[in-house]
Structure 1
Amino acid sequence: MIRTLDNCAAPAKLNLFLHVVGRRADGYHLLQSLFQLISRGDVLHFALRDDDAICRTSDLPGVPADSDLTVRAARLLRTAIMERTGRTLPGADITIEKNLPMGGGLGGGSSDAATTLMALNHLWQGGLSRTELMQLGVRLGADVPFFIFGSNAFVEGIGEQMQEVATPHRWFVVLEPGVAVPTQQIFSETGLTRDTKPVRISDFSGAPESFGKNDLQVVAEKLFPPVASAIAWLRQFGEARMTGSGACVFCSFESEQQADAVLKQVPAPWKAWKAEALEHHPLARLQT
């Protein structure tokens, strides 16, 4: 049994569009979205321990270890493997290099959890399939299964229904407006549109990066003016919009050179970066 896995990518995602098409009786919103994997993300390192503890070795301000999705994911997976196999498994140290902002709509925490499930399934020789890991992932959060799915996808339901989509190769400029947007606050707003007409996968196959809109954006712009300011500035270069429930905003470009030209003009108060579209999750090789 190998004991370490280093430099495990946990890529961010962008919602190329995000429509709220209804609401279930239990209060969960029904969504349609196109999830795009990008080259920027967190980086995780894993090492098996000599005892049975699950430990996060890096400090994340405001996120206690016991509530961290990576720790919860590791504990959930370890229990599932031991119940299936009857084996006793060692614990693990998890180190997170955090590059993505929290509350940015980039799926950072969910991606970290998915990478944890994939990496530790490999280290512990758990033998769980992609589908089985996705079933565990949905217990941690609606976006976790997407990262385990491993390809860009048209996502429906509350995030559990996915169809693989081939998206154009693009470069993205992403602005961090400097605020964290609580997802629950956005979805609880009375002014949120919840009846956008459902679309089909064929409707956006030509140019998914400019299709539709983000229904959460209007609410986020009203509650968090820095989001509105970032979108207004970036819109001079193309179709700028917010990702997820915010706060990060993005615009796509055909070449890295175009993205670099925009980055040079970003006003000083904002943090901005570029990322390349990915076709598949970097850890897809670990899947069975």
Structure 2
Amino acid sequence: MKDPEDGDNVEKYSDNNEELSDGKERWSCPACCKQGRVTRSGSTSSTCGARSETTAPLQPDQSTPTDTLTLILNQLSTMASDIKDIKNSQSQLRTDVAYCRNLLQQHSDSISRHDDLIAACETNIQNIQVTQTELSSNIANIESRLARSMETMHSGNGACSTPIAPSSQAETMELFRRSHNIILRDIAEGNDDINIVSEIIRHIEPSAENHRLSITRLGRTTSSNRLIRVVFSSPIIVSNILRKKNSILSHPTLRHVKISDDKTRGQMQELQHLREELRRRQTTGESNITIKYFRGKPSIVHTATQEITPSKN
């Protein structure tokens, strides 16, 4: 006897089967879907689900190892080119830096030379100031001598002790010009005057060599040795040389050279008058007298007492 419930189930199954048929759908057993169906070839297939779907096969990568290697090599070549450009840039930068350093060193050297020139100019300015002071003193002395000469001439007490005309401004200027010079005697004629004069100056006053301006032979060429005039930039240099001129006596080959100041015509006449007076006084029996210079002016003095005897001429 059938269970009423079984009949109901059959009816439900039939109803469901009809619904599936009407809907054109298929029903699959869940257990069969898990186990799969063994085909003749021995493989297992599953037909679960409404419709089987075909899956498209995967497309393999189209690039080959050769293409990949070529791409890598191209990238490496590009990187190598970039590295080379960087190295070239670094080399150019080093060259530019070296050039800048060299240029900076040149500017530094130029500034150093300018500093030396400025220091030399300052020294020259100081020397000029000292020379100007010395010249002012010399001019004052000359003016004083001119005034005394004028008084002597107007008083009629005797001849002027110096032949300088009181109103001769040209003589004053000539004195100033010649105060920069010295005269050298007894130097043989030749083409070596510059070296000989330099040797004499260095022996007497080494610093004076830097202030020497010119060297000139005086007069026409004759059988005798002409005088040499040496011009300096400052009368102070000349005074130092004349003060130390006796040191030439210690020179082994130039001790015979005579050194004196560059006298004007008036000074030469004055010195000649003094020499004549010296000979006259020595002829009359006066002894121990000679001519010496005091502040650039020659006078007859007693060698024992150094007493100054003024010239009568």
> Structure 1-normalised TM-score?
0.22
Higher helix share: 2
Higher relative contact order (CA closer than 8 Å, sequence separation 6+): 1
> Structure 2-normalised TM-score?
0.21
Higher strand share: 1
Larger Rg: 2
